[in-house]
Amino acid sequence: MSEKNSIVAKHIKAAGCAAGTMLAECKKAAAIAATDLNPALPVGERINAVVAVYADDFKGLDANVKQNFVAFLTIHACASAPVMVKKVVDGETVDTPALAGELLEQPLSKHALRDVAKQVRDHAGIARKSGGGRKAVEKPSVAKVTTGSEAVSETEAFSAWVDNLETYFMDSVHHPKIVARLIELGFTVVKAAKGKFVKGVASA
């Protein structure tokens, strides 16, 4: 187990004293504590091992202090994880691909921080504690492609994928990959405002 760093503990305590500087103090604490992340351990254990060192420092503080600290630490642990961040372009909210670690150099709101950390956890396959968070979206079954008379044609496989597109698009793991690929191809993915519908003609 890593030894406690008094500077990390100081920032944790400071985060619990002033809501206005909570994120900033948690960010500073996580940046220093991240140097103790052990790459030899699985990602989840790597993060938990560092958090455990400061368990006493979190006692009596707002629960958000620990949650924000863990969120920042998670991003440090998986800095190369691909994520999607929302940016406003010409009045529209657009999903933009980025690497998690790049966002540590930018100001993040609490909600943006939690969203990025969740994407990182999903990418790393870190399971949430039972009973917490939203239920996972049920993955659609994919037909097995075989040869001979049971073979599924490319057109049939594609049609099945399109039929299940909404499920894939709403899934926290598949959504960033789909959007990132579309952006690479030059398309902009913009969700229509509530109550509005996108007009267009479907191709056969």
pLDDT in tens, 101-150: 999 998 888 899 999 999 999 999 986 554 444 444 444 555 444 545 44
- Rounded to the nearest 10 degrees, what angle do helices 6-15 and 22-33 cross at? 160
Q: What pLDDT sits at residue 131? A: 42
Helix (H, G, I), strand (E, B), or coil: what is residue 81?
A: coil
Q: What is each CA distance from 109 to 20, 27, 80, 114, 157, in whole angstroms?
A: 11, 12, 20, 9, 41
Q: What pLDDT sits at residue 135? A: 44
Alpha carbon distance 104, 76 (integer Å) = 8
Give Cβ neighbours of residue 85 (< 8 Å, ≥ 6 apart).
95, 96, 98, 103, 112, 116
In the numeric block, the tokens 């900033």 are attached to 24
The model's pTM: 0.59
